[in-house]
Structure 1
């Protein structure tokens, strides 16, 4: 059975099969709903159903608490229609959306950036190019049918290789391979580009970039894109980690701050030990932003990293710093444990 979905306030409409998720149908129809993990774990695709009913597949309670579901909220990545629907969602208007491709790729380089972060460079087939926006991600297609998502850490104009920053999660289906058996010249397959985390270039507002851990990867791509386009928007980058070693490209960020006009960099460490001899900012990275920007009403925020960091930043920036809800853009990094639940 086929149902009709109407998106407000844009008025766009698309059809959705009864066994298809709302997000999948929207993407198939070229309707730009926001999304991240596509597994019901990150909450990026959350919107409201104002007419009709859906049934939700497996998802994280954190991403859609029962209280929100009772109020009509929905995770469109795992919601299947039971009737015609009217949904309320912040539609993304992105001219020239790039096609999602399945492609083979060869490992060109593996380099440890820290004890638990690997730089992976991917070589595409000759005469092939992946068109994408800085901030988007790819999904590796594993042999057992599972998928693993990683943000591209280089801007599109720096496309000799696709670079990824992969953190080792002990026991992880894919990351154990990356840190043990995977070697240069191995062949993998991926699908991309994916995700709605990218720079909104129709704005001239000052930008706050917030990263935790390897959430720095897509943030790095955004900075490279801003440099490439000679943007004049003021940019403040806050990068948080538990220990100084987690800020594995700190020197690059310091170089940006020294060389770029209107760019500031604030590293923040939450669990420094005496042997770290850390003299910089401490505590939670989003609280460092709040201390420096008590009024975010005229800014845009791009946040990426652990779900708890992204969720805390969104809640507190909007409630306490006056950030407009539609000026917060995020990519919440779900772990393999999140996807398994």
Structure 2
């Protein structure tokens, strides 16, 4: 049986078919709600059910705070209506020429950026332009039904090519291939299949100063966003906090430092959590979101774009909102989830 979903304050409606989640039905109808992982391991798709009944699944109780659950918030990527429902959620405005498609791609190059980070350049079909918002991601589609998500690390497809930053996860079915492990190592000229662009992580039109927050390869979509700002001549004040365990984890720190000369008002703050004496690290230490907390006692006038591991993203969301006055609507995130993260939520 299908049910109607009414969205406030947008005043939009769409129908959820049997087996669909609210998020999937919204996307199928052409309405874009905030989303990232689509598997219940982050809270980007958090929305409030005003009225109606639904099956929330187990994920919200693990991801959302008790107060949010009591007020009717849930994860729209997991919620399946059991009646007509009314929800409160932000509608994301997307450029009309951005279309989600499935297509074959060719591996054009594999370029090491660090011992455990590979830049993968994909050659897209030349018959049709692949347009996306800097910050969005694509998914690899494999024959056994598995999917793997990676953000574009470029602001646009130049010569029908895009770049991804892939971190090696030992034992990972896809990343082992990328790093030449296993029986079927990935190599130049291999053909893969993708779907994209996906996600709602991209720069909003706004005059407020920006804080970019990245951990590990969460730098990739933020790199794309900043390069998009450079290309447009966007002069908003912005600061990038990029965290890693060791200095080598900040694999394009020199590139990030160089943006200051091209983007007035831009600052780059590298943060290392587990530096060893042999690293010779003299910069900031500790958790990367705590560095923001130290520097900004009041975030009420800022926008935040955070990307990286779910614990970092969720800690930043909570602390920035509850301790530094950030508007919840001003926190935009893309949490990079692993198969282990997904398995934990689905257990």
TM bucket, shorter chain? over 0.9
1:334 and 2:337 correspond: yes
Q: Is the 8 Å Cα contact of residues 129 and 160 (structure 2) preserved in structure 1?
A: no
**Which residue of the partner structure matches residue 202 of structure 2?**
198
Partner Cα distance (2:139, 2:156) in 1: 17
**Which residue of the partner structure matches residue 189 of structure 1?**
193
Partner Cα distance (2:159, 2:303) in 1: 27
Partner Cα distance (2:174, 2:37) in 1: 16
1:133-172 aligned at under 5 Å gives the runs: 133-156=133-156, 158=158, 160-172=160-172
Deviation at 1:198, TM superposition (A): 0.5
Deviation at 1:292, TM superposition (A): 1.5
Out of 213, 216, 220, the position equivalent to 1:210 is 213
Partner Cα distance (2:5, 2:52) in 1: 9
Deviation at 1:128, TM superposition (A): 2.9
Deviation at 1:197, TM superposition (A): 0.4
**Which residue of the partner structure matches residue 247 of structure 2?**
244
Deviation at 1:242, TM superposition (A): 0.4
**Which residue of the partner structure matches residue 119 of structure 1?**
119
Out of 303, 306, 321, the position equivalent to 1:303 is 306
Structure 2 alignment gaps of length 5 or more: none
Partner Cα distance (1:250, 1:177) in 2: 26
Q: Is the 8 Å Cα contact of residues 17 and 81 (structure 1) preserved in structure 2?
A: no
Partner Cα distance (1:283, 1:166) in 2: 24
Partner Cα distance (1:272, 1:258) in 2: 28
Question: 1:198-219: per-residue Cα shift (whole Å, max 9, x none)?
Answer: 0002x11111111000000000
CA RMSD of aligned residues (A): 1.6
Deviation at 1:65, TM superposition (A): 6.1
Q: Is the 8 Å Cα contact of residues 18 and 82 (structure 1) preserved in structure 2?
A: no
Partner Cα distance (1:148, 1:58) in 2: 22
Partner Cα distance (1:165, 1:69) in 2: 35
Q: Is the 8 Å Cα contact of residues 60 and 74 (structure 2) preserved in structure 1?
A: no
Partner Cα distance (1:166, 1:46) in 2: 27
Matched residues, number: 340
Q: Greater shift after overlay, 238-247 or 259-268?
A: 259-268
Q: Given the two structures, how large is their TM-score scaled by the length of structure 1?
A: 0.95
Deviation at 1:135, TM superposition (A): 0.4
Closer, same or farther: CA 97–296 of 1 in aligned 2, 3 Å:
farther
Partner Cα distance (2:74, 2:97) in 1: 25
Partner Cα distance (1:81, 1:161) in 2: 40
Partner Cα distance (2:59, 2:144) in 1: 21
Query: Equivalent residue of 2:86, what SS?
Result: strand
Question: 1:172-225: per-residue Cα shift (whole Å, max 9, x none)?
Answer: 121111111000110000000000000002x11111111000000000000000
